[in-house]
């Protein structure tokens, strides 16, 4: 953590990794289970994490399906493009497809800023991945 | 994470991106510049001159914009998830298998552990 103490995002700290890495080079954890952390108090969770109701639904908005004949034609066409490039529709895009014009713009930004950029693949993905981990968001 | 692996980021690198300082030798200087910048940007910390100079040392202006907007794209998507709580795709979870480079947060549908007393 920084001297200022403001870097509060979760970390697979050196101690954590040293404890868990072993020979395999990856940290075995049970997926989607809270991980007990020894030592100081855990990092504070952001507000949107702490007010989750006990019986929250999986999502607050419907996930549009490109296979749904009643779905917006533009949304269906965009999801078909996603499926063609990613192999599936991907939940995040299915959610955004509730507003096809926004989905179109997001896909365009992703195409230009991410897929079309000039960086080597590792560096390109590090920019996205670092932000995802910092955000506790693993897409 | 699946995309990270397919792009060539090692599991060890994935597990250490939030270490501060980053482990010596695990990332190239150019990769370190990206990680430090994106971490600060996502946490909405000031991007000080040293952080930007590190980017400038390895990347041209066009590439710095690509890094900035790639990082920002994730921030936008993450805020979307936080608002509507879409679940991670089953396919993504399946591809991660039984081990994962970093501990995953609770699912939006799962109760969040209570904070420690005191």
Read off the pLDDT of residues A38-72 as tens digits, 9 standing for 90 and up: 444 444 444 344 444 444 445 789 999 999 999 99
Domain extent for A52? 14-134
Q: What CATH number is given to the structural domain containing A25?
A: 1.20.1290
Contact B19, A134 (CB under 8 A): no
Question: Structure tokens of A16?
Answer: 């954590």
- ipTM entry: 0.80
Read off the pLDDT of residues B32-48 as tens digits, 9 standing for 90 and up: 999 999 999 999 999 99
Residue B96 banded pLDDT, cuts 50, 70, 90: low
CA distance A69 to chain B (A): 22
- For the whole model, what pTM was predicted? 0.69
Answer with the residue of higher pLDDT: A136 or B57.
B57
- A1 belongs to a structural domain: no
- A27 belongs to a structural domain: yes
Q: Would the CB atoms of A11 and B18 count as touching at under 8 Å?
A: yes
> pLDDT above 90 covers what percent of chain A?
47
Nearest to A129 among B14, B80, B85 (CB): B14
- What is the number of domains present in chain A? 1
Residues of chain A positioned with their CB less than 8 A from the CB of B3: 125, 128-129
DSSP H stretches of helix in B28-106: 29-42, 49-58, 61-84, 90-96
* Whole-number Cα distances in Å, A121 to A115, A117, B8, B98: 9, 9, 7, 25
Residues of chain B positioned with their CB less than 8 A from the CB of A1: 20
CA distance B56 to chain A (A): 14
- A3 belongs to a structural domain: no
Read off the pLDDT of residues A70-127 as tens digits, 9 standing for 90 and up: 999 999 999 999 999 888 888 899 999 999 999 999 999 999 999 999 999 999 999 9
Q: How far is CA B9 from the centre of its chain?
A: 12
Q: Would the CB atoms of B1 and A126 count as touching at under 8 Å?
A: no
Residue B108 banded pLDDT, cuts 50, 70, 90: low
Residue of chain B whose alpha carbon sits nearest to that of A27 = B101
- A8 belongs to a structural domain: no
């Amino acid at each position: 953590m920084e001297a200022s103490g403001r870097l509060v995002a979760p970390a697979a700290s050196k101690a954590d990794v040293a404890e868990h890495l072993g020979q395999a080079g990856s940290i075995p954890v049970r997926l989607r289970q809270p991980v007990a952390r020894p030592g100081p108090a855990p990092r504070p969770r952001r507000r949107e994490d702490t007010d989750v109701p006990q019986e929250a639904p999986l999502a607050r908005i419907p996930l549009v399906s490109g296979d749904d004949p009643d779905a917006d034609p533009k949304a269906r066409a965009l999801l078909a493009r996603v499926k063609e490039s990613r192999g599936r529709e991907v939940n995040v895009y299915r959610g955004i497809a509730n507003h096809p014009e926004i989905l179109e713009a997001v896909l365009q930004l992703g195409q230009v800023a991410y897929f079309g950029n000039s960086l080597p693949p590792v560096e390109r993905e590090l920019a996205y991945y670092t932000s995802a981990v910092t955000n506790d968001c693993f897409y | 994470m699946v995309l990270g692996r397919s792009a060539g980021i090692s599991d060890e690198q994935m597990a250490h991106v939030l270490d501060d300082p980053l482990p010596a030798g695990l990332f190239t200087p150019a990769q370190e510049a990206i990680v430090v910048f994106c971490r600060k940007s996502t946490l909405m910390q000031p991007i000080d001159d040293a952080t930007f100079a590190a980017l400038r040392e390895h990347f041209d202006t066009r590439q710095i914009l690509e890094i900035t907007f790639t990082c920002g794209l994730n921030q936008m998507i993450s805020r979307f998830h936080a608002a509507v709580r879409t679940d991670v795709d089953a396919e993504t979870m399946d591809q991660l298998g039984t081990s994962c480079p970093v501990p995953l947060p609770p699912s939006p549908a799962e109760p969040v552990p209570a904070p420690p007393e005191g």
